[in-house]
Structure 1
Amino acid sequence: MTQESIEAEEFVRLDAPRDGVPAVVQDDSGLHDAIAALRVGTGPVAVDAERASGYRYGQSAYLVQLRRAGSGTWLIDPVPLPDLHTLDEALADTEWVLHAATQDIPCLAELGMRPRQLFDTELGGRLAGLPKVGLSAVLEFYLGVTLAKEHSAVDWSTRPLPEPWLRYAALDVELLVELRTRMGQDLDEQGKSAWAAQEFDALTRFTGPDHGSEPWRRTSGMHRVRTPRASATVRELWQARDDLARARDVTPARILPDATLVDLALRAPGSARALGSGKAEKGPSRQRRAQQGLKRHRADWVRAIDVAADLAQDELPDVSAASDAPPPARAWAERDPVAADRLARARADLAALSEHYEVPVENLLSPDSLRRVLWSPPELGDDPQATIGEVLTALGARPWQRELTAPVIADVLQNGPNP
């Protein structure tokens, strides 16, 4: 079905699961029943997880949803059941269908669950050329069904979970397998099934985002920090905040927002009285949160600032993190105009390739991989495309990505920018 034909119809709003909202599995007996039912089911299994992002420390799952033909829908509470390896074993030979798998794989892995084969309906939608790839959007496109999303940002660590939330959670897996079937047909018709299979196989080895050895550098507003001493103060404040957040099991931003943390680091007040009023934040609610955080933990902030102030010069961190990555693209024109020209042409050629295949350019090749190849090009040798292909392989590109992009990059390196 085309987008035009879907838009010509009125979407069917799905408000409740077809079999009703199942009871939440909260004990070993219920888990045993769930495993037995899912084991005898047929076909792929739809899997989803709900986290308490913005409320709790970390990204742990607070509800796991599964649905399989012949098994029905199961809602499992991982708080009393933190070890789901027996469920994982029961699904070892089953394809998992997830939406935005990179969000759920790490928290499922914490519970002992990891897919051996999967289909990601968000990534599949990107490869299929859909303009929007949220779950509701792809369900509308392929099945003509729309889902309510009013509970997507709630605190899933709440207990007991309200019935409307459970209904929402069950609906998230209600149509995933049907969606996978229709999307798989579309990818096959477009000649992209092999591309999708390579991407999905790579996802089975996904472990989560790499925040590096200095996660404090990811504090929002770090661009304002210009001295090693201020960098050290951010580091000490960040660590103090992280320790408090971990102990209280809340997200660090609820202890102290980033803008206030950076403001403290830049001012480095020497006493609790001088910590300030939280006016660095935008909006009344964020300012109130900052004020509460400054007041409640004032001794911790002063202590962290004092630690940074007492560090010897050789103990201070560099303002910028050590990295083997190329400089930001905006700096190329000044630092290496030839490389900047290479990048501009490659981006233009890849944009044309993206339009031709109706695949987002960042899915054709990661921007970081492109910059690394063009900033420090390899010796091309007798077979430039093969050489570029080897470099892209080392950077993690899949075969289909190398096949499409290596010729473009090799041509840019051989012939230079367009006049």
Structure 2
Amino acid sequence: MITITTTEALAEFCARAAKHPYVTVDTEFLRERTYYSKLCLVQMAVPGKAEEDAVLVDPLVEGLSLEPMYELFRNEDVVKVFHAARQDLEIFFVEAGVFPKPLFDTQVAAMVCGFGDQVGYETLVRKIAKEQLDKSSRFTDWSRRPLTDAQKTYAIGDVTHLRGIYEWLAAELNKTGRADWVEQELRVLTHPDTYTIDPPEAWKRVKTRTNSGRFLGIVRELAKFREIYAQSRNIPRNRVMKDDALLELASTKPKNIQELGRSRLLLREARRGDIAEGILKAVADGLACNQDALPKVSDQNKEKLQVNPALADLLRVLLKARCEQEKVAQKLIASAADLDALAAGKRNVQALSGWRAEVFGDDAVRLCEGKLALAAKGQRVEVFEV
């Protein structure tokens, strides 16, 4: 098992990889104590069975530059294959502003090929590669050196089995004509907005049932402060304050340190110093905000839909029937919220665009308009024209 510890060795492997049609990639990282993920290991493999066809890259070695790998990521003649790529791509985007292109995500492809919702890598290894995966090292500390043999064996398995899985899924997509479906799904993964959190918009990630514009204005300022503070110091946002504490503060509206100290949920270190000052300023800014500048509570997310429950149930049956027929994961087509929106007469849902419309959306609209009907035939549900 080869571990790369120099830029020269990495450049040599990447030059060889550039001669192949694809390279499989995975990472190991830590994020429990930081805002941004700390990259601890990169695994890569090219087609073949020789020892040098799969390598571990140690980014923690002093002096090693990952630029040869990033250059390979920019090479559009080589497909970069990941499984559940989102967190890996976030690391590369934050570290170097680069996205691997072209990209292939075996989790997304497996959903299109009928393996169910968010299928795990271990399942694909078992069902496609016909191998068993040892996951005992999954939650170890990848920042500690030296790595154990068990860690290395686990890590390299995440890219060696991926070769056969990719080849099988790619062939299946070509056979069914669904390669474009996967490409459409992956566009969001290679868009910077997917990984960029704008502090003034961070409040939208905080779940609350309160419709008060003033309350939401304070939530917005507190979430903004938390995001800026966490990003600037590279610490988890929950180390600044957790969501429940943030909502408590938006309700109690402390005006000074004494009132802040009465919080039941705020962490001890947040009751003094820079965090305490930032919280009090955020609350004050939220209270002082002009009425016109407060968050609007009548936005689309807060709009109460007039859902026809019977129609929503029929849409769920139609979705299940279509997905079983087409062998594609239901979650990839439409969410429960999408179905409720359709049953309420909305037509601006994702299920009505692109390939989803072919599989489900077009028929869903016709069902809503009374032009289609459903009938049970044994274990199957059949769809027919009215």
- TM-score band w.r.t. shorter chain: 0.7 to 0.9
The partner residue of 1:359 within 295, 313, 328 is: 328
Hey, what's the Cα distance between the residues in 2 that align with 1:149 and 1:55?
23
SS state at 1:147 partner: coil
CA distance in 1, matches of 2:212, 2:346: 33
87 and 76 in structure 1: CA distance in 2 versus 1, 3 angstrom threshold: farther
The equivalent of 2:378 in structure 1 is none
Q: Sort the Cα spacing of 1:326 and 1:293 in 2 relative to 1 into closer, same or farther, 3 A.
A: closer
Secondary structure at 2:177's aligned position in 1?
helix
Question: Is 1:114 the equivalent of 2:99?
Answer: yes
Residue 62 of structure 1 and its aligned partner are, at CA, apart by 4.6
Which residue identity does 1:135 align to in structure 2? Y
Q: For residues 31 and 366 of structure 1, what CA distance do their matches in structure 2 show?
A: 43
Please tell me whether residue 36 in structure 1 is matched to residue 30 in structure 2: no
1:239 counterpart = 2:224: yes
Aligned to 1:294: 271
Equivalent position amino acid for 2:201 in 1: E
Alpha-carbon displacement from aligned partner over 1:257-284 (angstroms, at most 9, x marks no partner): 111111111111222233247644xxxx
1:363-378 equivalences under 5 Å are 363-365=332-334, 375-376=344-345
SS of the residue aligned with 1:36? helix
The 1:317/1:153 distance shift into structure 2, 3 A limit, reads farther
Give the superposition deviation at 1:203. 1.3
Distance 1:175 1:354 in 2: 28
Take 2:161 and 2:155, find their aligned partners in 1: how far apart are those partners? 12
Partner Cα distance (1:125, 1:412) in 2 = 28
Who is 1:10 aligned against?
none
Counterpart-to-counterpart distance in 1, 2:298 and 2:135: 39
| 8 A contact 2:126–2:132 mirrored in 1 | yes
Q: In structure 1, what residue type is equivalent to 2:366?
A: D
Stretches of structure 2 lacking an aligned partner (at least 5 in a row): 375-386
Equivalent AA in structure 1 for residue 129 of structure 2: L
Equivalent pair of 1:117/1:204 in contact (CA under 8 Å): no
Alignment RMSD = 3.6
| 2:313 aligned partner | 344
The reply to whether residue 101 of structure 1 matches residue 85 of structure 2 is yes
Which residue in 1 is equivalent to 2:291? 313
Q: TM-score, normalised by structure 1?
A: 0.72
Q: Tell me, in whole angstroms, the C-alpha distance in 2 between the residues paired with 1:98 and 1:170.
A: 13
Distance in 1 of aligned mates of 2:168 and 2:157: 18
User: 1:127 Cα shift?
Assistant: 2.7
Deviation at residue 218 of structure 1 after TM alignment? 0.9
For the 8 Å contact 2:112–2:182, the answer to whether it is kept is: no
Pick closer, same or farther for the CA change 1:150–1:304 going to 2, 3 Å: farther
Shift of the alpha carbon at 1:180? 2.0
C-alpha distance in 1 between matches for 2:171 and 2:90: 29
Structure 1: which 5+ runs fail to align? 1-19, 281-286, 379-390
Does 1:217 find its partner at 2:198? no
Q: Using the alignment, how far apart are the partners of 2:215 and 2:188 within structure 1?
A: 38
Hey, what's the Cα distance between the residues in 2 that align with 1:238 and 1:377?
31
Identical-residue share of aligned pairs (%): 21
Instruction: Pick from 257, 279, 282 the counterpart of residue 272 of structure 1.
Output: 257
State the match for 1:12 in structure 2. none
Is the CA contact 1:97–1:180 (under 8 Å) kept in the aligned structure 2? Answer: yes
The reply on whether 1:304 has 2:291 as its aligned counterpart is: no
* 8 A Cα contact 2:134 2:154, kept in partner: yes
Q: 1:147 to 1:372 in 2, by over 3 A?
A: same
Shift of residue 185, structure 1, vs aligned partner: 5.4
Counterpart-to-counterpart distance in 2, 1:254 and 1:305: 19
TM-score by length of 2: 0.77
Q: How big is the shift at 1:217?
A: 1.9
Aligned to 2:178: 195
For residue 245 of structure 1, report the CA deviation from its aligned partner: 0.9
Alignment of 1:11-410 (within 5 A): 20=1, 22-25=2-5, 27-40=6-19, 42-59=20-37, 61-70=39-48, 71-77=52-58, 81=65, 83=67, 84-89=69-74, 91-110=75-94, 111=96, 113-131=98-116, 133-153=119-139, 158=143, 160=145, 162-163=147-148, 165-184=151-170, 193-200=176-183, 202-204=185-187, 206=189, 207=191, 208=194, 214-220=201-207, 222-223=208-209, 225-276=210-261, 279-280=264-265, 290-295=267-272, 297-318=275-296, 320=297, 322-323=299-300, 327=303, 331-332=304-305, 335=306, 337=308, 340-365=309-334, 375-376=344-345, 397-399=353-355, 401-410=356-365
CA contact (8 A) 1:346 1:408 kept: no
Q: Deviations over 1:62-109 (max 9, x none)?
A: 5432111255223335575364442224x4212222111334334334
Q: Distance in 2 between matches of 1:263 and 1:180?
A: 48
